[in-house]
């Protein structure tokens, strides 16, 4: 069953009428509704396209958080074969919010990292809504170390509101774990690409998104703090999240203009959740382009320097 966001009400009404007509037709074979269904379907598609042409930053935030949006495990299932997840940081335990392992992309060995939010109440609790503890980031470092040792490219799928801010996480060294993961991402001698598939929140995202190429899905967001948290900090009012989203420039389009990201992956009209297969194809193409551009004779030092210069250049062109 399709879940509609508040600004999609016109589309919801039209698609609701289509569903009613189809239900009527199934109970009364004498009633022909094809022409009316086609007319309403065209209107619904037109309304959806019109809405998604002019989404505000806050509306994009809602799309990025859509409960039916494809998550990390969906991308692994759609893009990676021979997937072998690895568990534990060899220091404390396993963290289910950040998943990591090895597999093959188009036959090539790759290391894959990403936050998993979960799809229902049970899996959301299991994966802590994609908010990793320190052991999650230490696991990421362990996998990146292995990838670096065996000359295997790294692919990261970023989707988190931020690292888990609980007391236990702080006691186990959350900030240090994030810093070590960021450091390892920068120090890799193998190419790495990061794709923000939903939310890219704070250091929890940066820890696995410090890559040679950083991409965002068209309706994803990437931000130093969630709009709600920023509003609470700036105006002592989380209710002003919409204002914060607008002023922080968190959309893929804004961040491409600032040089924070390197490209945007197009989504189907209505968002990735409406046609997951289409967005998988687009992501596959982007990863293929990245791997092709870093194949050949690039040495480890050159790959590392490419990443270093990319991040050092951020902000230097802004007047």
Same domain, 269 and 128: yes
Report percent pLDDT > 70 for the chain.
96
pLDDT at 319 over 70: no
Residue 32: pLDDT band with limits 50, 70, 90: low
Q: What are phi and psi of 87, to 5 degrees?
A: -125, 150
> What are 67-94's pLDDT values in tens digits?
999 999 999 999 999 999 999 999 999 9
Same domain, 39 and 143: no
Average pLDDT, integer, range 259-284: 94
Same domain, 42 and 142: no
Whether residue 317 is contained in a domain is answered as: no
Same domain, 22 and 167: no
Residue 17: pLDDT band with limits 50, 70, 90: confident
pLDDT at 29 over 70: no
Same domain, 100 and 175: yes
> What are 186-214's pLDDT values in tens digits?
999 999 999 999 999 989 999 999 999 99
Terminus-to-terminus CA distance in the chain, angstroms?
48
- Look at the chain and report how many structural domains it folds into: 2
pLDDT at 123 over 60: yes
Average pLDDT, the chain: 92
Whether residue 23 is contained in a domain is answered as: yes
Same domain, 133 and 242: yes
What CATH number corresponds to the domain at position 283? 3.90.226.10
Residue 243: pLDDT band with limits 50, 70, 90: very high
Same domain, 15 and 156: no
Range of the domain at 293: 61-312
Same domain, 82 and 37: no
pLDDT at 207: 96
Same domain, 36 and 182: no
Same domain, 202 and 257: yes
């Amino acid at each position: 069953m399709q879940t509609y966001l508040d600004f999609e009400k016109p589309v919801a009404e039209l698609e609701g009428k289509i569903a009613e007509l189809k239900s009527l037709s199934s109970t009364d074979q004498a009633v022909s509704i094809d022409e009316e269904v086609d007319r309403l379907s065209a209107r619904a598609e037109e309304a959806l396209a019109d809405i998604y042409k002019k989404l505000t930053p806050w509306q994009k935030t809602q799309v990025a958080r859509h409960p039916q949006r494809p998550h990390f495990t969906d991308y692994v299932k759609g893009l990676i074969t021979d997937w072998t997840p690895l568990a534990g940081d060899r220091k404390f335990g396993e963290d289910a919010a950040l998943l990591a392992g090895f597999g093959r992309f188009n036959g090539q060995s790759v290391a894959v990292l990403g936050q998993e939010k979960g799809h229902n109440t049970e899996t959301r609790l299991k994966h802590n809504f994609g908010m990793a503890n320190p052991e999650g980031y230490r696991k990421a470092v362990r996998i990146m170390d292995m990838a670096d040792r065996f000359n295997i490219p790294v692919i990261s799928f970023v989707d988190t509101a931020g690292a888990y801010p609980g007391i236990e996480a702080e006691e186990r060294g959350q900030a240090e774990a994030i810093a070590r993961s960021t450091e390892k991402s920068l120090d890799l001698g193998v190419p790495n690409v990061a794709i923000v598939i939903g939310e890219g929140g704070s250091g929890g995202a940066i820890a696995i998104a410090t890559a040679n190429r950083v991409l965002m899905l068209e309706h994803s967001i990437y931000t130093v703090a969630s709009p709600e948290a920023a509003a609470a900090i700036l105006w002592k009012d989380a209710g002003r999240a919409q204002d914060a989203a607008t002023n922080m420039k968190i959309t893929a389009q804004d961040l491409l203009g600032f040089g924070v990201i390197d490209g945007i992956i197009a989504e189907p009209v209505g968002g990735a959740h409406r046609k997951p297969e289409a967005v998988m194809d687009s992501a596959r193409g982007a990863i293929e382009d990245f791997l092709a551009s870093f194949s050949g004779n690039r040495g480890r030092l050159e790959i590392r320097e490419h990443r270093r210069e990319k991040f050092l250049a951020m902000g230097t062109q802004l007047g």
